[in-house]
Amino acid sequence: MATACSFFYSKKIVLGSLLGVYLLGSPTWSEAVTSNAATLQWSANTESDLAGYKVYHGTAPGVYGVSLNVGNATSYQYANLEVNKTHYFSVTAYDTSGNESAPAPEVSKLIPGSTGMVLSVSVTGNGAITSNPSGLTCSSSSCSGTFTQGTSVTLVATPSSGYSFAGWDGACSGTGNCSVTLTSSRSVSATFSANPSSSLKTLSVKFEGSGSGTVTSVPSGLICSSGTCSASFSQGTSVSLSATPQSGSMFMGWQGACSGTSSCTVNLGSSQALVVTFNTKTVDVPNPPKPTMPFLVNFQSPASQIPENFKKDDGSLFDSSRGYGWSQLVSGYERKSNLGLATATFISVPNSQPSTWSMPIPNGTYFLTLVLGDPDQAQGPHWISAEDLQLTKQVKTSQGEYLTILDYPVVVKDNALTLTLGGDSQGETLLNFLIINSKADQALVTNVLADSFGTSLVTPSLVTGGATKVNPDLLVKLDQAEQAQKAAAAQAAAEAKLQAEQAQKAAAAQAAAEAKLQAEQAQKAAAAQAAAEAKLQAEQAQKAAAAQAAAEAKLRAEQAQKQKEQELAKLEDLKEAITVKKTGGEAISLQNLFGRR
């Protein structure tokens, strides 16, 4: 389906004494038959002096390669475009006098990779084949895997015990790892050969550099510290070598059968030779001062402008007055970058000639942020280690792509932070800038012996691929943002603490008021209850007194009544015994006598 753009452009061209205006029709897309081709189309101009058109193509916005003159054609097909990438196009018109218009508004198109690219592997002998990215695994048999078109697949051959890897055939050759870019389906053959029972192979190590150290092997058999030494092992033996620098020296890396600065493992299908390099340390400061954190270093050319807040490093040798530098001269460069100065400049170190960057710093734990990449070109593979800890290896970056390593913890034990760049046999390692930081809760320590300084840090995984596109200039603000975040968190914690204290005080005051009120209410209730009880007791006492008085009065009345009755009884007795005669002879009883009274 064609996708039309709604843009037009114009260009004024002098035609005699008149001004003419070219109006170029908007470019449109027309899908081609193949997945990695596309056709650009535009409307024809009608001016009489139109001579033709030019088309422009690039893989970054506004950045084009050489123009193509397509004459009076109004379309052009681009074939064999790189898949899994966005392509950018524009068109100009030109007249018979050679005047060229301004470019039409840019159009873009993502060319997707096709799925279904098959990588087939046939295996002869005893051994295993694995792929990176994963998707293909076979052991002593044939197998295949399906990948997206354009994918770069690396095959690794691992011989079984008693066998050695003889080599590849087909899409790869030799005995190293096989890398195949699947622009189409491919096939590879892998051959493993049985080892003769009595065959011995030699592993030799040559010492180079200004320093000193020791190389040992597992299984045992090789141990040496200078010159060139060697040992013999059964064919097919996997030998691991370890390099240990002596005091005042640093391990720079392997060359030959191994590369980089990590441990070396060699499969002796045939005799192998290595070179190990130890250099003397360029920094020896017993008690270095603590730098202001974060410490920002920009790697650049001598004439480049220094980004704000950064220190400049132009690849010069270590200088104690400056406080940092390199073990050997390295080159600084500057590109054009719309992401800022810190990503436009970088130091480049050939991987075959590793170099170290050192900075005196107190023993302790530090957190490193590094950015690697080139805005103009693909680079790598990048090899970087810090304090003999491999941070990244075999990582390649595309044009405008940056690998970022954020807050990587390292432990300094010898009063100097040391970075080593390089370690492969090909390519270059780039470093744009470095941020050194120490956390608020990671106190720096000084005057600590290296052999007594331990750490329980959990080391992040080694970065071996998958560079991430980012805006690296944002990284220079990470520490400030983190500090601001911590300050905000501290302020919020202080405010929360104050609010908690105020709430606690308010709750205590309220509890005291409630307790006081409850006490007053209890006191009033107790007083009321006591008054009621006193009243009741008074009433009961009054009733008891009244009852007692009534009883006593009743008793006295009863006693008086009884006494009266007794007296009356006595009188009755007298009335019966005594009789008095009235004058004239009438008998008068005492009762009548007393009754008249």
Q: Note the pLDDT of residue 167.
A: 94
How many Å apart are CA 87 and CA 108, to the nearest integer? 5
Asked whether 327 and 422 are in contact (CB, 8 A), the reply is no
Cα–Cα–Cα angle for 140, 143, 148, nearest 5°?
145
Note the pLDDT tens digit of each residue in 552-567: 888 888 888 888 888 8
- At 239 the three-state DSSP class reads strand
Cα–Cα–Cα angle for 145, 151, 154, nearest 5°?
70
3-state SS of 478-507 is HHHHHHHHHHHHHHHHHHHHHHHHHHHHHH
Asked whether 176 and 259 are in contact (CB, 8 A), the reply is no
In the sheet with 137-139, reading across from the earlier edge strand, the strands are 137-139, 127-132, 152-159, 178-181
Tokens of 272: 């192998």
- pLDDT tier for residue 3 given thresholds of 50, 70 and 90: very low
Q: C-alpha distances in angstroms, 588 versus 208, 567, 576, 583, 584? A: 178, 21, 12, 9, 11
- At 422 the three-state DSSP class reads coil
Q: C-alpha distances in angstroms, 8 versus 22, 115, 430, 546? A: 10, 37, 42, 124
Q: Is the pLDDT of residue 102 over 70?
A: yes
Find all residues with CB under 8 Å of 200, minimum gap 6, and list them: 232, 233, 234, 235
How many Å apart are CA 342 and CA 298, to the nearest integer? 6
How many Å apart are CA 208 and CA 78, to the nearest integer? 52
How many Å apart are CA 139 and CA 226, to the nearest integer? 41
DSSP letters spanning 336-374: --TT-HHHHEEEEEETTS-EEEEEE--SEEEEEEEEEEE
Q: Residue 71 — left, alpha, or beta (φ > 0 → left; ψ -120 to 50 → alpha)?
A: left
- DSSP bridge partners of 404: 371
Note the pLDDT tens digit of each residue in 347-357: 999 887 888 89
How many Å apart are CA 542 and CA 538, to the nearest integer? 6
Note the pLDDT tens digit of each residue in 149-206: 888 999 999 987 777 899 999 999 999 999 999 888 899 999 988 776 557 788 999 9
Percent of the chain with pLDDT over 90: 17
DSSP 593: H
Which of 260, 119, 251, 135 shows the shortest CA–CA distance to 190?
Answer: 119
Note the pLDDT tens digit of each residue in 205-244: 999 888 889 999 888 788 888 888 888 888 888 999 988 8
How many Å apart are CA 166 and CA 535, to the nearest integer? 119
Which of 557, 331, 514 shows the shortest CA–CA distance to 431?
Answer: 331
How many Å apart are CA 407 and CA 219, to the nearest integer? 37
Which of 237, 195, 207, 200 shows the shortest CA–CA distance to 220?
Answer: 237
The structural domains of the chain, ordered by start, are 9-111 (2.60.40.10), 117-194 (2.60.40), 200-280 (2.60.40), 295-470 (2.60.120.430)
Amino acid in the structure at residue 595: G
Asked whether 418 and 386 are in contact (CB, 8 A), the reply is yes
The residue behind tokens 């170290």 is 356
Note the pLDDT tens digit of each residue in 489-517: 677 777 878 888 888 888 888 888 888 88
Asked whether 112 and 136 are in contact (CB, 8 A), the reply is no
Tokens of 82: 């790189």
Find all residues with CB under 8 Å of 305, minimum gap 6, and list them: 341
Bond before 105 cis per omega within 30 degrees? no
- At 165 the three-state DSSP class reads strand
Which of 270, 439, 476 shows the shortest CA–CA distance to 364?
Answer: 439
Q: Note the pLDDT of residue 120.
A: 92
> What is the chain's mean pLDDT, rounded?
77
For strands 416-421 and 379-386, give the pairing: antiparallel
What does the longest C-alpha to C-alpha distance in the chain come to? Answer: 201
Q: Note the pLDDT of residue 454.
A: 33
Note the pLDDT tens digit of each residue in 50-92: 999 999 999 899 899 878 999 999 999 888 888 778 889 999 9
DSSP 476: G
For strands 355-360 and 416-421, give the pairing: antiparallel
Which of 255, 267, 338, 343 shows the shortest CA–CA distance to 299?
Answer: 343
Note the pLDDT tens digit of each residue in 467-486: 444 444 444 444 444 455 55
Q: Note the pLDDT of residue 156.
A: 95
Q: Break the chain down into helix, strand, coil percent, rounded to 5.
A: 20, 45, 35
- DSSP bridge partners of 4: 28
